[in-house]
Amino acid sequence: MGTQSTVEKTPAISVIIPAYGVGSMLADALDSLLAQDRHDWEAIVIDDGDARIADAVAPYSGEPRIRFMQTDNGGLPTARNRAIAQARAPLISLLDGDDAYQPGYISKMIAAIEASPKIGFASCDATYFGHDRVGERFSAYCAQQQPATLERVLRREFNVFICTTIRREAILAIGGFDPTLKSVEDLDAWLRLLEAGWELAYVAEPLARYRRRPGQMSSNNLVMHQSAMTVFERAAQRLAGRPEQAAANEMTLHSARLLEIERGIRKIRDGAVDDGIALLHNADIRKHSLRWRLAIWMMRIAPRLAGPLIRFRDRV
């Protein structure tokens, strides 16, 4: 546990922890901070309007490095922005309330970002825990190809893991996280940082633990694809005249196709099977995987198979 003198000094890093809806899991995140091999940090837990978080934070009330913010429900981007505004350190680190750091996260990420004044943010690999994929690497499912350029982040050839450390001056200079986005607000911020000329450093070690929960992906796919399309459209506009604009345009079309696929899946789940199959088929079938093309062909031949095939897809 930290002493009063520890918290009075300007911390090296401020850890931002939005905790809406994850009160039962928050202890894992906070305990992982207490286990760090550097102690010059502060953490800001923000409840984003979830009254249950106060009870989850209460056991840590004797730890002066952990601060608690109670606000109205403004959404994840607003929660992060509010906490960043109160942060005292020159570096900002993100930690979702249901995830956790490995013991060396803070020391290694600070070293990575301080390697050059051109580096505006640093990311790492992670291991999954929770519902499934336990012990497997984030990079095994989400590519992290080096070097981490704007082009590669646009094309999702380098996926920035959410437990990222950012220079406070850099995130403030781009206006923080976009509160109008309902999802992928982190991707939007990474693109704007890279567009502004900041470099992205990468530590190829699993320095964080990424929790998997049942149904967490399928429940928000529609919002995610809609938000991604918006992010890529805006990026294409900002990148007019730059070589990366082509990638932004391609990813806008790709997101639109994924959105149509998700709408088709929703139609099938809601019982409008024929309409759903038509949407799936029209979403540029040539770009579907072989498995998807076979599944869509089977649905068109035997529509009664559509529901079981979609449920099977959700499980794998």
Digit-by-digit pLDDT tens for the chain (316 residues) are 343 444 568 999 999 999 999 999 999 999 999 999 999 999 999 999 999 999 999 999 999 999 999 999 999 999 999 999 999 999 999 999 999 999 999 999 999 999 999 999 999 999 999 888 899 999 999 999 999 999 999 999 999 999 999 999 999 999 999 999 999 999 999 999 999 999 999 999 999 999 998 755 445 888 999 999 999 999 999 999 999 999 999 999 999 988 988 888 888 878 887 787 777 777 765 555 677 667 776 776 777 767 776 665 555 4
Residues 276, 266 contacting (CB under 8 angstroms)? yes
CA angle 87, 110, 38 (to 5 degrees): 80
CA dist., res. 97 & res. 109, Å (int): 19
- Residue-wise burial string across 160-189, b where 16 or more C-beta atoms lie within 10 A, e elsewhere: bbbbbbbbbebbeebebbbbebbbbbbbbb
CA dist., res. 299 & res. 286, Å (int): 16
Q: In terms of domains, do 40 and 153 share one?
A: yes
Q: In terms of domains, do 57 and 88 share one?
A: yes
Indicate yes or no: pTM above 0.85: yes
CA-wise closest residue to 94 among 180, 207, 173: 207
Tokens of 284: 């540029």
Q: What is the CA radius of gyration of the chain?
A: 21
Q: In terms of domains, do 55 and 194 share one?
A: yes
Mark which of 184, 212, 240 sits at the end of a domain: 212
pLDDT of 2 reads 42
pLDDT of 302 reads 74
Residues 57, 18 contacting (CB under 8 angstroms)? no
Mark which of 146, 177, 212 sits at the end of a domain: 212
Residues 203, 163 contacting (CB under 8 angstroms)? no
Q: In terms of domains, do 234 and 105 share one?
A: no
Mark which of 212, 229, 247 sits at the end of a domain: 212
CA dist., res. 74 & res. 62, Å (int): 28
Q: In terms of domains, do 28 and 126 share one?
A: yes
CA dist., res. 143 & res. 29, Å (int): 25
pLDDT of 292 reads 66
Q: In terms of domains, do 130 and 276 share one?
A: no
CA-wise closest residue to 206 among 43, 27, 12, 32: 32
pLDDT of 277 reads 77
Q: In terms of domains, do 71 and 175 share one?
A: yes
Q: In terms of domains, do 244 and 170 share one?
A: no
Domain CATH code at residue 16? 3.90.550.10
Q: In terms of domains, do 124 and 225 share one?
A: no
Q: Which domain holds residue 64?
A: 4-212
CA-wise closest residue to 213 among 155, 130, 102, 145: 130
Q: In terms of domains, do 173 and 265 share one?
A: no
CA dist., res. 216 & res. 229, Å (int): 20
pLDDT of 103 reads 97
Query: Which residues have a Cβ under 8 Å from the Cβ of 114 and sit 6 or more positions away?
Result: none
Strands 119-130 and 41-46: unpaired
Residues 279, 270 contacting (CB under 8 angstroms)? no
Q: In terms of domains, do 117 and 159 share one?
A: yes
Q: In terms of domains, do 176 and 241 share one?
A: no
Tally of domains in the chain = 2
